[in-house]
């Protein structure tokens, strides 16, 4: 399935399920794939409005801010995600957030 078709499918599904966490997150991923970073940020923030504990959205926000060379915002997003991953005792995510932060600060 090409990027445009995936994007259209997600947008159509969101018409009937606008508060679906996975669909909103997926739309953010699709926006990254087509270099629409502002739209990706909006979607990841919407995902976090739906579920503030969805640390994966913080990770993607951090990546987008890195792409945009806004390293302070990237670290802020990674740190927020790290807090949540720590509360959830998700060691894999903790390691990924720590590595992302380390690579920026290094």
Report the candidate in 54, 88, 85, 106 with the shortest Cα–Cα distance to residue 96. 85
Max Cα-Cα span within the chain: 45
pLDDT of residue 2: 81
- The full set of domains in the chain, from first to last, is 3-105 (1.25.40.10)
Residue 88, pLDDT score: 97
CA–CA–CA angle 23, 29, 30 (5° rounding): 85
CA 13 to chain centroid, in Å, comes to: 19
- Ranges in the chain, pLDDT < 50: none
CB 81 within 8 A of CB 100: no
Q: How far apart, in whole angstroms, are the C-alpha atoms of residue 24 and residue 40?
A: 9
Output the pLDDT for position 41. 98
């Amino acid at each position: 399935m090409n990027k445009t078709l995936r994007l259209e499918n997600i947008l159509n599904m969101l018409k009937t399920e606008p508060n679906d966490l996975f669909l909103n997150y997926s739309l953010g991923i699709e926006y990254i794939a087509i270099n629409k970073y502002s739209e990706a940020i909006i979607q990841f923030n919407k995902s976090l409005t739906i579920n503030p504990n969805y640390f994966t959205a913080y990770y993607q926000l951090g990546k987008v801010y890195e792409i945009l060379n806004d390293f302070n915002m990237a670290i802020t997003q990674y740190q927020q995600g790290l807090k949540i991953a720590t509360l959830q005792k998700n060691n894999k995510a903790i390691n990924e957030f720590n590595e992302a932060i380390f690579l920026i600060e290094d």
